[in-house]
Amino acid sequence: MGSALNPINSSLIATALAPIALSFHVSVGRTAVLLVSLYLASAIAQPTAGKIAEEFGPRRTFLTGATLVLIGGVLGSLSQNIPTLVVSRVLIGIGTSAGYPTAMLMIRRRAAAAHLQAPPGSVLGALSIAGQATLALGLPIGGILVGTAGWRATFLINIPVTLVTLAMTLAWIPRDGAVHHRGLRDIVTRIDVAGILGFGGAMAALLVFLLSLPDVNWVALVVAVVLAVALVNWELRAAAPFLDVRLLASNLALTRTYLRQGLTQLGVYTVMYGVTQWLEAGRGVSAEQAGLLVLPMSALAVLVTRPIARRNLVREALIVSALSFMAGSAGMLFLGVDAPVIAIVAVTLVFGITVGTTSIGNQTALYTQVPITRVGTASGLFRTFGYVGSIASSTLTGIVFKDNVTDRGLHSIALVLIAVSVVVLVMVLTDRALRNPLRSTVGDDRRPTELNQPQGEAT
């Protein structure tokens, strides 16, 4: 439930933007900041939550994150202006970001304690479903909530879900081990606060640059490059780096996993938002109806994920992901305002295969490619690359649909996605590390004091 909160919240607000603009007497364009604020907060907070979980324990980190979601939900439901809503969305973005990296860290530690030789496929599959296959659910859920209870319900819904999640965590998740008391300087060094701030600044500048396209924001680009260079120099000298540059440079298989995830998410988000935008503008479909048309994509993703996860398939899953990505993109070339609804649903269903296979394939690859002491940060960075892909998709649709939403624009997007899918397929086919991924599982490099193992016996 915790891992599902972030992707659902990222799309939940989409159907509420127009009612919010009407309520506060502002343009719909101004409310777009509510989308961007959660994207930016999540892109930075995901690896940060993973790093904090590695140092202080995943259960503590997750409980703190869930509390922030609760506060954000209450604040958003009571907001009387846009700035307060932005603060609420940032709190929700930061809080929900704790779900996925802490879950991955808990699973990896429990698997190590149980001396499992292979990744726990069924567990990772369930996590993958919660984290990625639920992405499209936010659109129809948001439409129903706004239609029946108003836009404030899109914030209120976080309160009961978070309370249930907190109760289950307190009841079922074993406590983290004791944390040795450290001085403030030691904590700052272990968490690498300077690295986190540098990463956050560089990521924020990069996202501002991407969102400015096709008009180039040179200031944002220069700031992003300067901060990135400074971040690399700092992390190479840091005792406990937040962004392990040496790991990324030496572990190219992991780096390729990040790139595959980002490129594939570019396609998934483009279809989910670009096609729905085309449906609303070109065919006069309501936001609620557009959300329902992409809902089968999530259902098929769930069905596809389970058998792949049980068998711990990686390369095979990623090949299917790239091929379905290509097929779905080619199918978009045949869509037009007169296309039957069944054709539109068919294209989104093909991308449902992409969502299910890429999510579990890349997640299992990640699980085998990082040492146990870096699983939290690495998993958070995995999600960050997904968010960069989502921002890039917004940039692509913004450029193509800048003046008007047309069939021709949709077909231009399809051509771009076909090219991206070819790149992803070549990456998969030429990646030797994917041929025997389970044999290359990174060993247990932990020290007893680093593990902070849960109390109780592993099952």
How far apart are alpha carbons 273 and 280 in whole angstroms?
A: 10
The residue ranges of every structural domain in the chain are 2-192+238-451
**Which pLDDT value is given to residue 441?**
55
How far apart are alpha carbons 102 and 172 in whole angstroms?
A: 15
**Which pLDDT value is given to residue 210?**
83
Q: Kindly give the confidence (pLDDT) of every residue in the chain, 459 residues in length, as a single tens digit, with 9 standing for 90 and above.
A: 888 888 888 878 877 887 888 899 887 767 878 888 888 899 889 999 999 999 889 999 999 999 999 999 999 999 999 999 999 999 999 999 999 999 999 999 999 999 988 899 889 998 888 876 667 677 778 878 888 889 999 999 999 999 999 999 999 999 988 877 667 777 777 888 889 999 989 988 988 888 787 788 899 999 999 999 999 999 998 888 888 888 888 889 999 999 999 999 999 988 887 887 788 777 777 766 777 787 888 888 888 998 999 889 999 999 999 999 999 999 999 998 888 889 999 999 999 999 999 989 999 999 999 988 889 999 999 989 988 888 888 788 888 887 788 889 999 999 999 999 999 999 999 999 998 776 555 555 443 333 444 433 333
Q: What is the CATH number of domain 2-192+238-451?
A: 1.20.1250.20
**Which pLDDT value is given to residue 439?**
59
pTM for this prediction: 0.86
